[in-house]
Structure 1
Amino acid sequence: MATLLTADLIRAGRALLGWTQAELARKSGVTQKALSDFELKKKPLTAKASDRLRKVLEEHNIQFIAVNTESSEIVGSGVRWRPERNGMDIKIL
């Protein structure tokens, strides 16, 4: 089951990197129109596009923080820079 990114998570990841929609679109192979429509909540993002965006953001040290949920969508979550040292991950108690 693929985890679908939300518009807020994509915007937050772009903000950490200081990227425009055009930059993320170019690097991910997702059209800027599709990315813009998704971020504005005009149209849903496909699982394939979500995977492409996630891959590019994670390759640039963005980490998505999720909560435990039964859904495939990340809910109540956030983004951060990926920790450089092992053992620096957030642990849910």
Structure 2
Amino acid sequence: MTALLTGDLIRAARALIGLSQTELARKAGMTQKALGEFELSKRPITAKANDKLRRVFEEYEIQFLAANVEDSHLDGTGLRWKPKHPNAGIKII
């Protein structure tokens, strides 16, 4: 199962690819109002909306990540451009 995106992750990904709420909502097939409510955590994101947003972000090669911990809690969540060499490891800068 894919983790649901948080409002912070949605906002950060949208900023990284340079889309307005209106543009992202249109590309994802949802209203700008719904997207704004997801981003502000005024409404919990649905699995359907999560999938739509992830498809758009994948088109822009955005990758969501978290620390690899043994429990189901997501620690250190973030995002990045999908690397050209994904198995090269991570360098902290």
TM-score in same-fold range (> 0.5): yes
Give the ranges of 4+ consecutive aligned residues of structure 1 lying more than 3 Å apart after TM superposition: 68-71
How much is the aligned-residue C-alpha RMSD, in angstroms?
Answer: 2.0
Per the TM alignment, residue 41 of structure 1 is displaced from its structure 2 partner at its CA by 1.4
Measure, in 1, the Cα distance between the counterparts of 2:79 and 2:66. 9
Equivalent residue number for residue 51 of structure 2: 51
| Closer/same/farther in 2, CA of residues 74 and 30 from structure 1, 3 Å limit | farther
Matched positions, count: 90
| Residue 75 (structure 1) shift | 4.5
8 Å contact 1:6–1:74 — kept in the other structure?
Answer: no
**Map of 1:57-76 to 2, 5 A cutoff?**
57-68=57-68, 70-71=71-72, 74-76=74-76
**Residues of 1 paired with 2:3 and 2:52: CA distance?**
12
For the residue of structure 2 that corresponds to 1:78, the secondary structure is strand
User: Which has a greater percent of strand?
Assistant: 2
Residues in 2 aligned to 1:88 and 1:27: alpha-carbon distance in whole angstroms: 32
Query: Given the superposition, is the C-alpha separation of residues 36 and 58 from structure 1 closer, same or farther in structure 2, using an over 3 Å criterion?
Result: same
What runs of 5+ residues in structure 2 fail to find an aligned partner? none
Counterpart code for 2:28: S
* Aligned-residue identity in percent: 58
Deviation at 1:86, TM superposition (A): 4.1
Which consecutive residues of structure 1, in runs of 5 or more, have no partner in the other structure? none
Deviations 1:27-77 (A, max 9, x none): 111211110011111111111001110111011111101223544x75530
| More contact order relative to length (CA 8 Å, sep ≥ 6) | 1
The CA distance in 2 between the partners of 1:28 and 1:89, in whole Å, is 31
